[in-house]
Amino acid sequence: DLSLLLPRCRAKEIKMKLGTLLQKPDSTIDFIIPYPEKPEKPPKAQKPSSEEALQWRDSLEKLLQNPYGLASFRSFLRSEFSEENAEFWVACEDYKKTKSPVKMAEKAKKIYEEFIQSEAPKEVNIDHFTKAVTMKNLVEPSPTSFDMAQKRIFALMEKDSLPRFVRSEFYHELIK
């Protein structure tokens, strides 16, 4: 019965939002002292030319494929408490390259436990339908098991995080 399911979903949504609020700093001093604005220097990654960095405004894909861009974007997401989105995307990319069925099953379990399951340490924000499809796909792990969830998180980063990143000090440091 759907009427019984709805209050449970709403309660879970409220609990999740409360959990997010509780994880954020509760001291007003944290809001006065800004988080470090300098991006972390990724190991062995070449700083992009300003022309290359400018392309990232219109292409999250190009940004995520560039090691320096990815590291800068992750630093920015960390400052916004949403780094799990980029971490999940990276984990999915790594998972898709896995050839061994045994390794694939191990990685699928790890990704599920870290990002997908309820109350996961780095739970990504995906809808119930996407979560259900992903769980069904994990019965027999394949390179496409996380595709729907990864696309949802990519779209979320593209729509929400990328525009904020482009307006941030992290980005402006790169295009100077």
pLDDT at 47: 86
Q: For 22-75, write each residue's pLDDT tens digit.
A: 454 444 344 443 444 444 444 566 888 888 999 999 999 999 999 999 999 999
Please count the other Cβ atoms lying within 10 Å of the Cβ belonging to residue 121: 9
pLDDT digits over 121-175, tens only?
A: 999 999 999 999 999 999 999 999 999 999 999 999 999 999 999 999 889 888 8
What mean pLDDT do residues 95-111 have?
A: 95
Q: Give me the mean pLDDT over the 73-95 stretch.
A: 94
Nearest alpha carbon to residue 169 among 72, 84, 87:
72
pLDDT of residue 6: 45
For residue 118, pLDDT over 60 is answered with yes
C-alpha span between 84 and 20 (Å, rounded):
13
Please give the Cα distance from 66 to 109 (Å, whole number): 27
pLDDT at 122: 96
- pLDDT recorded at residue 159: 95
Residue 91's closest CA among 146, 138, 135, 49? 146
Give the residue among 101, 41, 45 at the shortest CA–CA distance from 72. Answer: 41
d(CA 98, CA 89): 15
pLDDT more than 90, % of the chain? 64
Q: What is the tens place of the pLDDT at every residue in 3-17?
A: 444 444 444 554 555
Residue ranges per structural domain of the chain: 50-173
In the structure encoding, which two tokens stand for residue 32, read together?
């006065």
Distance CA 141, CA 155 (A): 23
- Cβ proximity of 166 and 90 under 8 Å: no
| CATH architecture of the domain with range 50-173 | Orthogonal Bundle (1.10)
